[in-house]
Amino acid sequence: MFVKIERDYDAMSARGAQIVAEVVRQKPNAVLGLATGSTPEGLYRCLIDIARQENLDFSQVTTFNLDEYEGLPAGHPQSYHAFMWEHLFEGLGLREEQTNLLSGIAADLPGECVAFEQKIRAAGGIDIQVLGIGGDGHIAFCEPGSSLAGRTSVVALHPQTIADNARFFDTEDEVPRRALSMGVGTILEARSCLILAKGEGKAQPWAGMIEGPVSSQVPASALQLHPWTIAISDTAAAAQLKNGEYYQHVDRERNDQPVIPPWIVDPDLDPRRQFASRIESVDG
């Protein structure tokens, strides 16, 4: 895991946007995994600015979103469909057919989840997955206790998640109690992950993710097992890291290294694929 500590939210957002932009520069038909919530808003603003300033072409990109509330139609102002069109898709000029979001009102919700997994595989997998972290250590809507090998499914939201998200609704009672969400196992299959955190309220789960044990009680900690996760926070979210100064030292020493893994462009270089091939050759 590459841990990066920026002075503030704006710097964190700009750095994250440059990483996503670099994926698209090197792979114009990249598959982007995207998150919602207040944390990635700054990254999305910066990414739109980069696209406009550099004429960076997003016309071949495909996107997949992490999650969606059960029961909210795409046109609901608090749906994640509405969030993404307001904060990113329209600004990048994406077409609807480029985007993939779970439907919270599908007649067959488990079937919707299976179909979503199939779409990801058909697209060739996700090149970079943007993530935020919840106050209870969740990623997507994979709450504490979620299987670290889980797939996209219908999940029950943790009371803390409901309380945290109440600010987006008129009352807490209006917050849906269930959602459709990528599983941790689905997220870990992305070729790279980019997770963001801002503010002192995320300091404890952020430290647990980076320096704590890998545990289903802090689902984000599963990212320790991923071969290329970039974790960017502001100084407030990094306040409880025991090795913060060391991470900053490493970041400075690696400033001439690539920001994205080579297997985004050449999937055969992915160490997980190479390992699987070696296992198959031994079994054969």
Supply 185's token pair: 């196992």
In this predicted structure, the answer to whether residue 69 has a pLDDT above a threshold of 70 is yes
What pLDDT does 208 receive?
98
3-state secondary structure of 19: helix
For residues 225 and 280, what is the distance between their CA atoms, to the nearest angstrom? 21
Q: Is the pLDDT at 277 greater than 80, yes or no?
A: no
**pLDDT computed for residue 266 by the predictor:** 93
Amino acid at 277: S
Confidence band of 273 (pLDDT split at 50, 70, 90): confident
pLDDT at residue 282 greater than cutoff 70: no
- Assign 3-class secondary structure to 206-260: HHHHHHCCCECCEHHHHHHHCCCEEEEEECCCCCCCCCHHHHHHHHHHCCCCCCC
DSSP, res 157: P
At residue 255, the pLDDT reads 86
Residue positions annotated with a catalytic role: 67, 136, 138, 143
Residue 194 and residue 192: Cα distance in Å, rounded? 7
pLDDT in tens, 200-247: 999 999 999 999 999 999 999 999 999 999 999 999 999 999 999 999
DSSP H helices, the chain, are 9-26, 41-54, 80-84, 90-92, 109-122, 159-165, 184-188, 203-211, 244-253, 271-283
What is the amino acid identity at position 176? Answer: P
CA atoms within 13 A on the CB side of 207: 15
Matching residue, tokens 């599963």: 222
CA 240 to mean position of chain CA atoms: 22
First to last CA, the chain: 33
Each residue of 89-122: pLDDT tens digit? 999 999 999 999 999 999 999 999 999 999 999 9
The yes-or-no verdict on residue 270 having pLDDT over 80 is yes
DSSP result, 81-101: HHHHIIIIIHHHT--GGGEE-
Q: What is the pLDDT of residue 116?
A: 98
Domain of 162, in residue numbers:
2-283
Mean pLDDT of 184-199: 98
| Number of domains forming the structure of the chain | 1
CATH assignment at residue 209: 3.40.50.1360
The whole-number average pLDDT for the span 124-146 is: 96
- Provide the percentage of residues in the chain whose pLDDT is more than 90: 90
Distance, CA of 211 to CA of 247 (rounded, Å): 11
Decide if pLDDT at 192 tops 70.
yes
Residue 275: what pLDDT?
A: 61
